[in-house]
Structure 1
Amino acid sequence: MFCFCSFRLSGQIQVYNEQPLSFGSFIVKDAGGTVHVSYSAERTATGDIILINQSENFSPLVYGIEAPIGTLIHIQNGPDMKMYGDNGGELTVSLGASDKGTSFVSTVAPPDRNLVYIEATISVNSRNITPPGNYAGSVSVTFIQE
């Protein structure tokens, strides 16, 4: 699953999608559960889900922020979003914490970028509601320059 994300620009900052969010491959058994990818690229599952480790094919969402040194930037995640599969299924994606917290100060000058890693969790229903397939959609993250 790959999530392509939207963002709003404010003032002098530039936001780049450095790495799409991917939960990798997993098997959903009868009851479903969750898959979590941390901002440090660790993956865990709860409930009735078996993770398949195929060459570490999962990754947190990573943005590159170009901003003048000393710029204060706030990170605001959008609401939970539904993702839809090529098979008619659906699941819910929730964005979590970033490695920078909810705010950070730019420490590098453009064209260098401050990398922001954002973790996420998907909630997966039973196999009947979330059948095997490829799921895609978008999530929203807003970067606010102060």
Structure 2
Amino acid sequence: MNHLPRPIADWIALWRDLPRHPRQVLLNRAHAHGSAALLTVTLLADLIVGHSFTTIAAYAALIVLGPPSLVGCAGAVIHTLWGRGLIWADLVCEFCGDGPDDGDGPEPDDPPGDDGDDLIREITDYLHTHATSTARKD
């Protein structure tokens, strides 16, 4: 799916992953607004123009983009409930990065240090202690 356009790959991934991981997909779909926006633009164009081509495009958009838009709307409701800590406290939203009950404390896996200064100091010490030979051998 790396060579497909983003909306098509997203649509395929939605229907592939929804039966496998329904809770995670619903939680993450709250952040995807592409299909709902495209569906809205198509339906508005049909209302404004009123041509047979726009009506056919509106029907096609409803068939193709309608279900993902409904999943996105349901995901927005579920994400709000999850964010308030009412459901699925064991899940983590991939876009938000933290759960509803996470505090502002440091993560236990974060290394202590002062923003990479230790690493820079170690690299410069290593380079100063290990001289390289730059002389040409003839």
Give TM-score, length-normalised by structure 1: 0.21
Higher strand share: 1
Higher relative contact order (CA 8 A, sep 6+): 1
More helix by share: 2
Q: TM-score with structure 2 length normalisation?
A: 0.21
